[in-house]
């Protein structure tokens, strides 16, 4: 399958991540105009200037989270819901924030149709995190930030992992793996990718 080959080329070896990505129907999250590209390893537009990340990047970021069925995950940027659907079977619960209400409404319909039950969502400013549900063992940011968002770092539990794309140039961003330790934040650069920017603003219904 094209998707599995893309994951292998990207060096993704976690069998649970690969099996989950094989089982989640990516076409459900792809706009009608791009259905024939559902399993190509490319980024696709989903409206509102947002994108559906290429499978290799989704796999890379998911694998880097080091998930298990005890982990509570905060996702910043629900988008189409594809990354959320990948996280769902790999962890205990996903809390996902999306600033575009129409995108979130569509994602919630997909979760319902796929019988995904361990996801809680809300419309909001992802840069503020979800204080009422903090701390989180894992945080994944699906839009590029200028630096590690400080509020999200505060909401990360000790020993927790955050995966976040860093850099706001028009070129490539670097996916950063952040681990919270007794001595502060330890970071590791994973690879360069392209992401839409993480924009702090009031949540709207547009």
The angle at the Cα of 140, spanning 158 to 61, to the nearest 5 degrees, equals 110
88 vs 119: CA distance, rounded Å: 7
**Residue 81 CA: distances (Å) to CA of 32, 142, 151, 170, 191:** 16, 11, 23, 25, 23
> Which helix (H) or strand (E) covers residue 179, if one does?
strand 173-181
CA distance 97 to 100: 9
Which of 23, 38, 53, 80 is labelled catalytic? Answer: 53
HSE toward the beta carbon, residue 15, CA cutoff 13 A = 0
Give yes or no: 53 in active site. yes
Catalytic residue positions, numbered = 53
């Amino acid at each position: 399958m094209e998707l599995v080959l893309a994951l292998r080329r990207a060096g993704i070896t976690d069998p649970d991540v690969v099996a989950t990505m094989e089982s989640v129907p990516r076409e459900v999250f792809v706009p009608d105009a791009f259905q024939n590209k559902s399993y190509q390893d490319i980024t696709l537009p989903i409206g509102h200037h947002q994108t559906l990340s290429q499978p290799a990047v989704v796999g890379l970021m998911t694998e880097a989270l080091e998930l298990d069925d005890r982990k509570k995950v905060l996702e910043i940027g629900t988008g189409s819901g594809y990354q959320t659907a990948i996280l769902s079977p790999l962890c205990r619960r996903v809390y996902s924030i999306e600033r575009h209400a129409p995108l979130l409404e569509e994602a919630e319909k997909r979760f319902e149709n796929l019988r995904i039950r361990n996801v809680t969502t809300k419309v909001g400013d992802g840069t503020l995190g979800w204080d009422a549900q903090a701390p989180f063992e894992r945080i994944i940011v699906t839009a590029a930030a200028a630096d590690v968002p400080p509020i999200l770092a505060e909401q990360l539990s000790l020993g927790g992992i955050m995966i976040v794309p860093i850099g706001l140039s028009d070129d490539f961003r670097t996916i950063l793996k952040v681990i919270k330790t007794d001595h502060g934040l330890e970071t590791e650069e994973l690879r360069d990718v392209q992401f839409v920017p993480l924009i702090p603003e009031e949540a709207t219904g547009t």
